[in-house]
Amino acid sequence: MGFDLNTGLESLKPDGEAWRSSAGQHYKLCRNTTEFGVCNWLVPEHDVQDYCPACRFNRTVPDQSKPDNRLLWWRMEQAKKRMLFGIYQLGLWPALGWTSADGLLFDFIEDGRSNWDFAETFVTTGFAGGIITLNILEANDVARKQAQEDMQERYRTLLGHFRHEVGHYFWGRFAENQAWLDRFRERFNDERGDYGQALETYYATGGDPKWYQKYISRYASAHPVEDWAESWAHYLHMMDALDTAHRQGFIRSDPFDADFDTKLRQWRSLSVALNELNRAVGHNDAYPFVIAEPIAKKLEFVHDTIAAANE
Model confidence pLDDT, tens digit, residues 66-121: 888 999 999 999 999 999 999 999 999 999 999 999 999 999 998 755 554 444 45
Residue 13 falls inside a structural domain = yes
Burial bucket for residue 100 (CB in 10 Å: 0-12, 13-18, 19+) = exposed
pTM of the model: 0.94
Residues 63 and 144 in one domain: yes
pLDDT over threshold 80, residue 16? yes
Range of the domain at 35: 1-52
Same domain, 44 and 63: no
What lies within 8 Å, CB to CB, of 124 at 6+ separation is 133, 135
Number of domains making up the chain: 3
Tell me: the pLDDT tens digits for 131-183?
Answer: 999 999 999 999 999 989 988 888 999 999 999 999 999 999 999 999 999 99
What does the alpha-carbon distance between residue 245 and residue 273 come to, in Å, rounded to a whole number? 11
Query: Is 132 in the same domain as 181?
Result: no
Is 165 part of a structural domain of the chain? Answer: no
Task: Evaluate whether residue 202 is within a structural domain.
Answer: yes
Within-domain flag for 166: no
Give domain status of residue 7, yes or no: yes
In a domain? residue 170: no
Domain-embedded: residue 285: yes
How large is the average pLDDT for residues 271-286? Answer: 96
Convert the pLDDT of each residue in 243-258 to its tens digit: 999 999 999 989 999 9
On the question of pLDDT at 225 being above 80, the answer is yes
- What mean pLDDT do residues 261-273 have? 97
Check whether residue 201 and residue 271 sit in a common domain. Answer: yes
The number of C-alpha atoms within 13 Å of 59 and in the hemisphere containing its C-beta is 15
Q: What is the pLDDT of residue 116?
A: 42
Confidence of residue 311 (pLDDT cuts 50, 70, 90): confident
Q: Select from 303, 308, 305, 228 the least CA-distant residue to 259.
A: 303
The answer to whether residues 17 and 77 belong to one domain is: no
The confidence score (pLDDT) of residue 118 equals 47
Q: Is residue 84 part of a domain?
A: yes
The reported pLDDT for the residue numbered 299 is 99
Instruction: State the CB neighbour count (10 A cutoff) for residue 155.
Output: 16
Whether 245 and 265 share a structural domain: yes
Asked if residue 179 and residue 138 are part of one domain, the reply reads: no
Task: Indicate whether 35 and 61 sit together in one domain.
Answer: no
